[in-house]
Amino acid sequence: MSKGSNSLVAFLVGAGVGAALGVLFAPDTGDNTRDRLSYRLSKYQKELEDLIGDLVEGKEIHLNEAKTEGKRVISEAKSKAEGLLSDVNKLIEQINKDQN
């Protein structure tokens, strides 16, 4: 994960913990506090699942782009190597003709 993604995840976790602690120490009945905490945790869980899904999708896109670019580079290198090999063979043939 990138530095920005790590920072975002850390921020979201910190916000969730801060909200949970704020709700726990708020002057309210236990039932109300647990209900609000449960609601907020489920909300943060959904947001975190969405964020993870987005990160995974983005990672797959980058991997596919990298694979495609890698295959293109390999193909170009192979083509250039074959061209050089052909040129070397022509030079060897020319040298052999000149020696005879």
Residue with tokens 């647990």: 34
Query: Which pTM was predicted?
Result: 0.36
For residue 72, the one-letter residue type is R
Distance CA 40, CA 62 (A): 33
Shortest CA distance to 12 belongs to which of 37, 48, 55, 65? 48
pLDDT range class, residue 26, cuts 50, 70, 90: low
pLDDT tens, residue by residue, 30-43: 777 777 777 877 78
Q: Where are the alpha helices (DSSP H) in the chain?
A: 3-24, 30-99
- Residue-range domain boundaries for the chain: 3-74
CA 34 to chain centre: 36
Distance CA 52, CA 56 (A): 6
Q: Looking at residue 3, what is its pLDDT?
A: 61
